Amino acid sequence: MADAPTMEKLVSLAKRRGFVFQSSEVYGGLGSVWDYGPLGVALKRNIKDRWWRSLVQARDDIEGLDAAILMHPRVWEASGHVSGFTDPMVDCRTCKSRFRADKLADARCPQKPSKVPGEHTACDLTEPRQFNLMFKTFMGPVEETAAVVYLRPETAQGTYVNYLNVLNSSRQKVPFGIAQIGKAFRNEITPGNFIFRTREFEQMEMQFFVRPGTDEEWFERWRAVRMAWHEGLGLTPSRLRWHQHGPDELAHYAKAAYDVEYEFPFGWQEIEGIHNRTDFDLRRHQEYSGKKMEYFEQATGERYLPYVVETAAGADRVTLTVMADAYREEMVEAETRVVMGFAPHLAPVKVAVLPLVNKDGMPELALELYHDLRAAMPAFHDASGAIGRRYRRQDEIGTPWCVTVDGDTAGQRSVTVRHRDSMAQDRIGLDQVKSWLQQRLVASG
């Protein structure tokens, strides 16, 4: 069994190999904001594409949308975010740290008391105060109250206010859904755990509009679909579970809510929420905007506000999940081999082409093969260093296959393919390499 990954190792690999960097690192970084490097952007894009394909492309009853980040400020009054999107915050008067009161284990300051006089010797917490998590900015040239707008804290509201636009411009009927991938911003009090909780992040949200009375059935259906999607990422099944929200955990808009949780190195945590939001949002937008939001059902001649079943996942959180699940260390010939065991369909690089040595026509043949392959899939060419070291580098970034051009390639028109997980090698014909890889990529999901 592979070692459980530690976050430290994962963060260090992410930086070393170009998955994720701290934002504005040369200036000392910016609190809980991260940048995706060449491999990270490819991995996250593969995850988002898979989500989009499974919901928008592979189904007839869901449409895509890309709403703006800035919205009319009334939207956030209607949604309840201006008055209610708050976390209880406490300050420690001694060490000046700030915490979310609901996350403190025993109402004690978690900073270690210091023995140095004048430093933190005892915790002295303030009473909790409600802190709004929305980022404010100003629209236009004047910084005045009337010009305040918010960076959206969720993509969902862009979907609600566009629900009739989508319905009227597409040929959809209730039940149908709207899917969106986009940035959201929350001024989290205690962000952390790398890209798990950040202040700028990307959501993958889908709102499914249904006839009231059918919401519970759709809720169960969507739960099953979403869990299957996470399993399809190749995650370890025993590290996935459901968490049902109890009455005191339910958000103000929700009738029922379940989280998909993953067992991270820092414990079980939510990666996606499935919510039965009732007609709360449409009703509120109808009230605040004065515009009718009802759906007219031709078959029955009835008018009603649809109920909404929402599936809300974080692209960054799922990326962290995939990375944490993929990381493993193995002892090979008294050396530690680090492997990112990504499912091939998620791996940022699918194949590396390596000349065994840089002579006897091998570099030319390898480059030719590389150029041919990169037109079909993300490929990498590496001609420098010992072959063993080059294999290890590919293991560390999760490349499922390495193709090696050796002294027999020119004469026999064949190459070796090395498998990342088993390290076994197969000999295959040079002109079959592309289709061999394509078949395996398709089979991986």
**Distance between CA atoms of 11 and 7, rounded to whole angstroms?**
6
Residues 65, 179 contacting (CB under 8 angstroms): yes
Instruction: Work out whether 197 is an interface residue with ligand ATP (CB under 6 A).
Output: yes
Among 22, 46, 193, 203, binds ligand ATP (CB under 6 A): 203
The neighbouring-strand residues paired with 417 are 403, 426
How far apart, in whole angstroms, are the C-alpha atoms of residue 174 and residue 304?
11
Q: Is 350 in the site for ligand ATP (CB under 6 A)?
A: no
Residue closest to 132 by CA, chosen among 97, 72, 88, 93: 88
Kindly identify the residues of this chain, within the stretch 289-318, that bind ligand ATP according to CB under 6 A: 312-314, 316-317
In the complex, what is the shortest distance from the CB of residue 315 to ligand ATP, in angstroms, rounded to a whole number? 8
- In 3D space, the residue among 304, 254, 256, 298 whose CA is nearest the CA of residue 283 turns out to be 304
| Contact between 270 and ligand ATP per CB under 6 A | yes
Half-sphere exposure for 372 (CA within 13 Å, toward CB): 16
Task: Say whether residue 319 binds ligand ATP (CB under 6 A).
Answer: no
Nearer to ligand ATP, 312 or 417 (CB): 312
With respect to ligand ATP, which residue has the nearer C-beta, 186 or 350? 186
Residue nearest to ligand ATP (CB): 314
From 72-80, 268-276, 294-302, 365-373, give the range in contact with ligand ATP by CB under 6 A: 268-276
User: How far apart, in whole angstroms, are the C-alpha atoms of residue 100 and residue 129?
Assistant: 10
Give yes or no for residue 206 binding ligand ATP (CB under 6 A): no
Least Å from the CB of residue 98 to ligand ATP: 16
Minimum gap (Å) between residue 186 Cβ and ligand ATP: 5
Residue 227 C-beta: closest distance to ligand ATP, Å: 14
User: Residues 189, 98: contact at Cβ < 8 Å?
Assistant: yes
Stretch 153-182: interaction string toward ligand ATP, x if CB under 6 A: -x----------------------------
- In order, the DSSP letters of 223-290 are HHHHHHHHHHTT--GGGEEEEEPPTTTS-TT-SEEEEEEEEETTEEEEEEEEEEEETHHHHHHHHHH-
For residue 231, give Cα distances in angstroms to 273, 318, 322: 15, 12, 11
207 in contact with ligand ATP (CB under 6 A): no
In the complex, the residues that contact ligand ATP under the rule CB under 6 A are 154, 186, 188, 197-198, 201, 203, 270-273, 312-314, 316-317
